[in-house]
Structure 1
Amino acid sequence: MPTYNKLVRDKIPQIIEATGKSYTTETLSEEKYIKELKTKLGEELDEYLQTNDDNEALEELADVLELIHSLTKVHGSTYEGLESIRQEKSKERGGFNERIYLKEVED
């Protein structure tokens, strides 16, 4: 039996059960949940960095976005609250759309 020891999406146990397989899970404490969300975010970012086409990239970005939604909740906010912070930062400092690559700043 393979061992995974990782955070999975909420419906994964039902999907496994539908295949006739058995599984073992646990419900994480808040502290461990946050730790595992951060670990999973790193994994999904790595998977995104390894993509070779737009469809793969979008699939991985959707996973990253799902994790961002969950992390936003554990940090006491909503996605709308996070979006408001993003918009304010964009208004003050700009986005990344102009492809500006800072090479150096003279003292």
Structure 2
Amino acid sequence: MTDHYDKLVRDQIPEIIERDGETAVTHVADDDEYQRRLCDKLDEETAEFRASGDLEELADVVEVVSAICTSRDIDPDTLKQRRRAKADARGGFADRIVLERVE
């Protein structure tokens, strides 16, 4: 039986598939495709976390964010600094404020 996925997967997934006695048909994405597929993967992992609330899915979201940073030469500390600066300027989400409208 053939299953079609057409998605970015973790590096060891083809080896795991092969160990299970199946054949993984893959290709290596060029830079443009990789950027697009990372964004698709972020959407996928975010949706999975929303559906399950599972810590493993949240870890997957963080892994994709890390890969995006690496692929775009963004230092993780720079991302943390940017997050902190934005939180300092606009706040975080701890107060649970829901904006209904502006009149």
- TM surpasses 0.5: yes
- What letter matches 1:99 in structure 2? R
Q: 1:93 aligns with which of 82, 90, 95?
A: 90
What is the total number of aligned residue pairs between the two structures?
102
- What letter matches 2:43 in structure 1? G
Unaligned runs of 5+ in 1: none
Aligned to 2:77: 80
**Aligned partners of 2:26 and 2:77: how far apart in 1?**
31
**Aligned partners of 1:3 and 1:67: how far apart in 2?**
21
Unaligned runs of 5+ in 2: none
When the two structures are superposed, what TM-score results if normalisation uses the length of structure 2?
0.90
CA offset at residue 46 of structure 1?
1.2
CA offset at residue 104 of structure 1?
2.6
Q: Percent identity?
A: 39
When the two structures are superposed, what TM-score results if normalisation uses the length of structure 1?
0.87
Aligned to 2:47: 46
Q: Which of structure 1's runs of 4+ aligned residues deviate more than 2 A?
A: 103-106
